[in-house]
Amino acid sequence: MLQKLLFSILIGLSLYSCTTIELKEQQHFFPDHQWSSKDSLEFKFDVKDTSVLYRIYLVVRHEDAYGYNNIWVNIGTKRPSENMQYQLLDLKLADPVKGWLGTGMDDIYDHRISLTPKPIRLRKGEYIFRLKQAMREDPLQYVLNAGIRVEKVTE
């Protein structure tokens, strides 16, 4: 009896750990590892499933030599049947005590920063996101990638 119970628990855990996260992620690679304020990055996502909630993230990858604990980004969002709306965001990348807040390997750090305070519903259709860095340093050194991630909430 105990063996059957343990076997059932093991099967249940293996099935639970194999759940997939439905997401769409697009990134722009900066070959010279610098992001100019002239670079306006554009990402398009087609939303078909309106029955679920979504989270939207800014994705940034940088080297350890990146000189700031934040990044200012001007983010444009165009929802279906609406005009582009921009917001200037100061996004935290590091903490004085903890260091870099993203995940790191060697001297490269990846950040997935939530742009939505809680999961949101999206309308059916095409969403367009535009990103421009708004830091005082131009071009912004040691930035490898920047992009957008749209993730279905599976809770």
What is the Cα–Cα distance from 71 to 73, expressed in whole angstroms? 6
What is the Cα–Cα distance from 62 to 50, expressed in whole angstroms? 34
Tell me if 12 is assigned to some domain. Answer: no
Say if CB 83 and CB 63 are below 8 A apart: no
Number of independent structural domains in the chain: 1
Residue 106 CB partners (closer than 8 Å, separation 6+) = none
pLDDT score for 90: 96
Tell me if 15 is assigned to some domain. Answer: no
- Would strands 140-141 and 34-35 be described as parallel, antiparallel, or unpaired? antiparallel
pLDDT score for 7: 42
What is the mean pLDDT, run by run of 10 residues, along the chain of 155 residues?
44 44 81 95 93 95 95 95 94 91 90 93 94 96 96 83
Strand partners, 88: 74
pTM above 0.85, yes or no: no
- Supply the CATH number for residue 86's domain: 2.60.120.260
